[in-house]
Each structure stands twice: as C-alpha cells, then as structure tokens.
Amino acid sequence: MADEPYGMLARPRPSSLADVIDIILDKGMVIDAYVRVSLVGIELLTIDARIVVASVDTYLRFAEATNRLDLYEHGGKDLPELFDKMEENGAKSKTKGALGGAKEKVSEAVHGGADDGGSRSGRSRQRASARRRSGGDEEDEE
C-alpha cells in the first residue's frame, strides 16, 4: 500500500490563544448596551479593511519577490494551473452568506504576552523550502 499523503494542513491542537483571540474578541454574542453590563476595555489596534493601504515596505518586498522568480524553470508546470486546480472539485456548492470586508485586529496587550504553548499535534507541516523565501515576516507586516 502506498504511503499516506503527507499532511499539509496546520491543525494546532489544542489551539493557542493566538489562534483564537481574534475569534473571541471579534465574534460571539454581544449583550445590548443598555443592560447593566460593561465591556472590559481592551486596547485594540484595528485596521479597517476599507482604508488600509499597503505600506511602501510591502510594495518593495513584493517587487523584490518578482526578481526571485524563475519563470522559465519550474519543471514545465504552468503555474497558473496551481490555482485553477480549485475548479476540479465538481461538487455543487451550498455556500451561503458570503461576507465581504475583512477586519484584522491585533491585540498588542495579548500578542506581546501570549504564549504559543499549544502543542502542534498530528502531522508536521512541511513546505518545500525553495518555494517560500519570505521568512517569518508575514506577521511583522501588520
């Protein structure tokens, strides 16, 4: 029997606080304001999707990324097809209620101290090192 496919899905179990903090701060039920309850004030840095403009630093990084491209040497694979594979799933969609507009929040008070203590169970996440050269700077760009 052939080897099982190598897992490429990150599944932090248990989820760390960093994984769920956006959910428990931004989603969930809210009690109506006039009821005698109060929301604990938390300092949040909110980047509204409608007004965010990618920084100059981001643009330069993405310009530099094109320099790393080797458009003519990728084993003959037509890269746009990598994304077109999504259309191979012929199942009928039951998608409902798509929301537009992303709101990304960073909680300085917690991200500074939050431990990433949840152990990563299951399969480790491997990515061909040659394909990702952006290092760990994704989070820094927020």
Partner 1 sequence: MTEDSREWYVCGIVPAGCRVVTECELVESGPIAAVTRPREPLGIAESLRRHDRVVAEFVRQGLPILPMRFGAVATGHDTLARDFLDPNVDTLERALAEVTGRVQYTVRVGYIRDAVVRAVSVQDPAVAAARAAIGDDSSYNARLRLGESVVAAIDRRRAGDSAKIAAGLGPHADIMRSTQATHPDRLGEFAALVRSEHAEAFEAAVEEMATRHAEALTMKLIGPIAAYDFVPEL
Residue 99 touches partner 1, criterion: CB under 8 A: yes
Strands 103-106 and 45-48: antiparallel
Amino acid sitting at position 108: E
Q: Which residue lies nearer to partner 1 by CB, 1 or 130? A: 130
- In terms of Cα–Cα distance, which of 82, 67, 85, 61 is closest to 140? 61
Q: Which residue lies nearer to partner 1 by CB, 1 or 93? A: 93
- The rounded distance, in Å, linking the Cα atoms of 142 and 54 is 9
- Which residue has 């990702």 as its token pair? 132
Q: Which of 1, 2, 3, 100 binds partner 1 (CB under 8 A)?
A: 100
Residue 76 touches partner 1, criterion: CB under 8 A: no
Number of residues that bind partner 1 (CB under 8 A): 82
Q: Which residue lies nearer to partner 1 by CB, 2 or 36? A: 36
- The rounded distance, in Å, linking the Cα atoms of 24 and 16 is 12
- In terms of Cα–Cα distance, which of 129, 130, 131, 124 is closest to 82? 131
CB of 76 to partner 1, least distance (A): 14
Residues 9-68 that bind partner 1 (CB under 8 A): 9-12, 15, 17, 19-21, 23-32, 35-40, 42, 47, 49, 52, 54, 56, 58-66, 68
